[in-house]
Amino acid sequence: MNELIALRGTQTSLVLERQAQGAPLWRYWGPRLADDFAAGPALADEPCFKGFLLDQPLRLDVFPGAGLGWFGMSALEAHHEGRDFAFAATTTAIERTENGLIIQLNDAVAKIAVALRLSLDPVSDVLTQSSELTNMGDTTLDVQWLASGVLPLPANCTQVRHYAGRHANEWVLQEDPLGRATWLRENRRGLTSHDTFPGAVVIADGTTAHAGPAYAAHLAWSGNHRQAIDWIGDGRWQWQMGLGLAPGELRLAPGESITTPDMLATCSIQGWQGAARNFHQAMRDRIDWPGGAMEPRSVHLNTWEGYYFDHDEAALIALADRAAAIGIERFVLDDGWFHRRNDDTAALGDWWCDADKYPSGLLPLAQHVRALGMEFGLWIEPEMVNPDSDLYRAHPDWALHIAGRAMQTSRNQLVLDLTRPEVSDYLFDSISKVIADLPLAYLKWDHNRDLVAAADSTGRAAYRRQTLAYYDLLRRFRAAFPQVEIEGCAGGGGRIDAGVLPHVHRFWTSDCIDALSRLRMQQGFLQFFPPEVMGSHIGTAPAHTTGRSQGQAFRAAVACQGHLGVELDLRTLSESDEADLVRWIAFYKTWRGLLHRQTWSGSASDGLVWHAAGSPQEWLLFVYRTEPTAQHFAPPLQLPFVASDARFAVRRIDPGHDGKIAAYDASWLHHGGLSIPPMLAERAVIFHGIAADTGGAAHGQA
């Protein structure tokens, strides 16, 4: 039998089979196998029906190539001036790394070399794959498709859970059956996009949020992408993800190489929530916090929905006073502060302070904010230019465009060509000049349109290079201002992905702050990303993007799931709402240590949705009623996440309720369930549970 090569995580294993020739075969990726697992017969053994199969039929390998007997989707589509369309390794070398493998596949006939890197993190169980392609020929290699990774999915998989949406309505869950038709999602919007999240979860029949096999993958990339699940003839599927490439976009000169973005994947037998927790750990490893470690997530006041472009310095100073008084810790000045930015028709690109609104610059406001004990943050949208701006008038050619074609604005703006060094230099210099003089702790970095006609000055598609240049610009700012945290925003959630995560510290989840919509969207966000980077604000009622109204307590209870902020006009708050807001902010500060740890969520019958955070020994449980009850009594809520060998002291703790402690055995919480008090629609209740052997002291308090 051929040699088997295994990688082991805590809950997962993968097994490859070395072949005499060619790339190793995919034998297994799934729940953890015993160390001395006994593998069945080699995959390449007898077919169950030979029919007109090739005499040496190919099975799924780690990098299936076209044209030589593999009839499924190929991991590579490339050619040298119309030749060398087929790919198969003529020599293969496999090297072990600390947690993984480097598989070197050289095709001497096609003159193409591919190095695959696989690494299985033993703690998070997240498998990271990438491929590096080198043109070994003496003519240009034109690449149309290069998979970052290839994964096998077992035959009992039945469904793909993935996310669609639009601006102000992101993370709309889609559930597609898996069949023989290729499941394909492609994003051509130039940035991660609101409507095609680069990731999905594949489940088997009977898998639930908390039990059963779930296979999840995500492409760490902020640009165009392709993700495909392709039936492979033995009942299984292969899952590929990679860059989306426009024609001619990726051409490698002789000797040139390209490395793909990472494809991150994980598997859990604790359902799709188990996969989410694995991802949370891996994402946390990617974040580069100022000072090396996350500080408790400070409560924001963001000026956008309360003030929009109406920047009046005296009013903002008064707002800062009020914000500090209610417990806000970071004051973020959103869009509207720079030269002639009075609405969204003009000024993007002109990165200097508006002298009418701020006669002495931003420093007095920033200093006032600092003197009140808050941090100061500022909004920017570097990659954009309005045709009505000094920058565009001076450099119309700096916007991405195709010569001879009309330019298409969106929100009255065009996209700057960051691949031109002079453009990135201008942005770095002009924005640095503004922020260098400020006591700045935070930048909110926005991007409010899709890319079209994204050609560089030579007419070649520049989507991929634009994304790389965006990462470079972020790196420059991080290096120059290492103490500054950055929020990734793109009209809300248009650029949320693990590719940008090493450069940012928070995502603005959506421009929709309607708490009912947010409940659903936040579920999607938390499938891949941890709660501490999920920007979630208490907005106003009615919500600006939906027109729906919910009570402030419900809005606050939903916002407390993530990194809390307030985004409303404090001047309009009634005295009692202001007093309540103070209590909610204090509540968040008390519990943020638990809120930003492990999470679980689910839905029960009769319109109840729940979210829990902390650890199996100590947790906060939020129970939300999204609809009026259709029953006379609510059934107890079963809690699958509590540690199974403990007794719990459980207490209702939402602001305004100092509940009595009730004792529950874990088995009762698991199977019998927690009693839920009567709740009207769009209300929330919050419980704290702590295992008795922890001495009853709440550990999660910050």
Please tell me the count of residues contacting ligand DGJ according to CB under 6 A: 11
Q: Contact with ligand DGJ (CB under 6 A): which of 379, 442, 622, 687?
A: 379
| E-only strand ranges, 509-606 | 534-538, 563-566, 598-603
* 608, β-bridge pairs: 625
CB of 631 to ligand DGJ, least distance (A): 39
User: In which residue are the tokens 């059963």 written?
Assistant: 212
Pick the closer one to ligand DGJ by CB: 350 or 446.
446
Q: Is 511 a catalytic residue?
A: yes
Q: Of the listed pieces 213-221, 223-231, 488-496, 600-608, which binds ligand DGJ according to CB under 6 A?
A: 488-496
Q: Of the listed pieces 181-189, 486-494, 585-593, 603-611, which binds ligand DGJ according to CB under 6 A?
A: 486-494
Answer for the pair 308, 337: CB distance below 8 angstroms, yes or no. Answer: no
Q: Contact with ligand DGJ (CB under 6 A): which of 334, 350, 485, 497?
A: 334
Pick the closer one to ligand DGJ by CB: 61 or 305.
305
Q: Of the listed pieces 38-46, 112-120, 424-432, 489-497, which binds ligand DGJ according to CB under 6 A?
A: 489-497
Tokens of 488: 């990734």
Beta-carbon contacts of residue 248 (< 8 Å; ≥ 6 apart): 142, 460, 461
SS (H, E, C) 122-174: CCCCEEEEEEEEEECCCCCEEEEEEEEEEEEECCCEEEEEEEEEECCEEEEEE
CB of 336 to ligand DGJ, least distance (A): 8
Residue 508 is a binding residue for ligand DGJ (CB under 6 A): yes
In the complex, which residue's CB is closest to ligand DGJ? Answer: 335
**679 phi-psi bin (left φ>0, alpha ψ -120 to 50, beta other):** beta
CB of 578 to ligand DGJ, least distance (A): 23
Site for ligand DGJ in 443-472 (CB under 6 A): 446, 448
Residue 337 is a binding residue for ligand DGJ (CB under 6 A): no
Answer for the pair 287, 533: CB distance below 8 angstroms, yes or no. Answer: yes
State the Cα–Cα distance between residues 214 and 333, nearest whole angstrom: 41
CA proximity to 650, closest of 641, 662, 636: 662
Answer for the pair 221, 496: CB distance below 8 angstroms, yes or no. Answer: no
Pick the closer one to ligand DGJ by CB: 304 or 619.
304
Amino acid at 165: G
Q: Contact with ligand DGJ (CB under 6 A): which of 17, 511, 580, 682?
A: 511
Q: DSSP H helical segments within 568-621, as ranges?
A: 575-595
Pick the closer one to ligand DGJ by CB: 531 or 565.
565
CB of 384 to ligand DGJ, least distance (A): 10
Q: Contact with ligand DGJ (CB under 6 A): which of 489, 519, 623, 643?
A: 489
CB of 491 to ligand DGJ, least distance (A): 5
Q: Of the listed pieces 370-378, 484-492, 589-597, 619-627, which binds ligand DGJ according to CB under 6 A?
A: 484-492
Question: What 8-state DSSP symbol labels residue 520?
Answer: H
Pick the closer one to ligand DGJ by CB: 511 or 654.
511
Tokens of 382: 């570097």
Pick the closer one to ligand DGJ by CB: 335 or 383.
335
Beta-carbon contacts of residue 26 (< 8 Å; ≥ 6 apart): 16, 60, 61, 62, 150, 151, 152, 238
| E-only strand ranges, 353-501 | 375-380, 384-385, 414-415, 440-445, 485-488
Site for ligand DGJ in 68-87 (CB under 6 A): none
Question: What's the CA angle centered on 456, arms 164 and 191, to 5 degrees?
Answer: 15
CB of 492 to ligand DGJ, least distance (A): 4
Answer for the pair 494, 512: CB distance below 8 angstroms, yes or no. Answer: no
Catalytic residue selected from 61, 107, 335, 511: 511
Q: Of the listed pieces 14-22, 472-480, 487-495, 600-608, which binds ligand DGJ according to CB under 6 A?
A: 487-495
CB of 447 to ligand DGJ, least distance (A): 9
| Cβ count near 395 (within 10 Å) | 18
Each residue 286-315 as x (binds ligand DGJ by CB under 6 A) or -, in order, gives ------------------x-----------
Q: Contact with ligand DGJ (CB under 6 A): which of 125, 230, 335, 682?
A: 335
User: In which residue are the tokens 């949208």 written?
Assistant: 381
Tokens of 500: 């940008």
Residue 492 is a binding residue for ligand DGJ (CB under 6 A): yes
Residue 149 is a binding residue for ligand DGJ (CB under 6 A): no
CB of 449 to ligand DGJ, least distance (A): 10
Answer for the pair 537, 668: CB distance below 8 angstroms, yes or no. Answer: no
Alpha carbons within 13 A on the beta-carbon side of 667 = 1
Catalytic residue selected from 334, 446, 514, 654: 446
Residues that bind ligand DGJ (CB under 6 A): 304, 334-335, 379, 446, 448, 489, 491-492, 508, 511
The residues that are catalytic are 446, 511
